Amino acid sequence: MFPSDANPAGNVFGGEILKQIDIVAGIVAQRHCGTNAVTASIDRVDFLKPVFVGDLLILNARLNCIKNSSMEIEVKVESENLRSGLRTMTGTAMVTSVALDDGGKPTTVPKLLLQTEEEKKKFAEGLARMEQRSKERRREKAR
């Protein structure tokens, strides 16, 4: 991370980390669906530890769940001190992306091949979160 990514004390801006989360989640979504995909929401963002100027930012993302045109992507953020090699878990986020067809309308995405118990568990947890987000959006619209 560079000085332009941080405040005067050397702490990287949360917005810069959010930008990187959005980019990585978008890559995961587009690789899976093979079409354009856009961010519908970023929720449950937790900044656990600071990231400093000079640190390497490492993001790992996985597709947890699919529902029609929507995909939930879990992103884990680590920083690595390039001098010491010390890695620190610095944040997590859940991103919902929507696949779009060439006309910009939501389109169905390929199913997930769930092979392990962990993948099945992540899918079920993701589906519950997606359902909760849908309920919250419907409630907001009704207001």
Helices (H), the chain: 14-33, 117-142
Is 117:124 a contact under the CB 8 Å cutoff? no
What range defines the domain where residue 32 resides? 3-142
Check pLDDT > 90 for residue 137.
no
Report the domain count for the chain.
1
DSSP 102: T
Q: What is the per-residue pLDDT across 20-71, written as a single tens digit (0 to 9) for each?
A: 999 999 999 999 999 999 999 998 899 999 999 999 999 999 999 999 999 9
CATH number of the domain bearing residue 81: 3.10.129.10
Contacts of residues 116-123 at CB distance under 8 Å and 24 or more positions apart, as own/partner, are: 122/62, 122/64, 122/65, 122/74, 123/64, 123/65
Report which residue type is found at 16: E
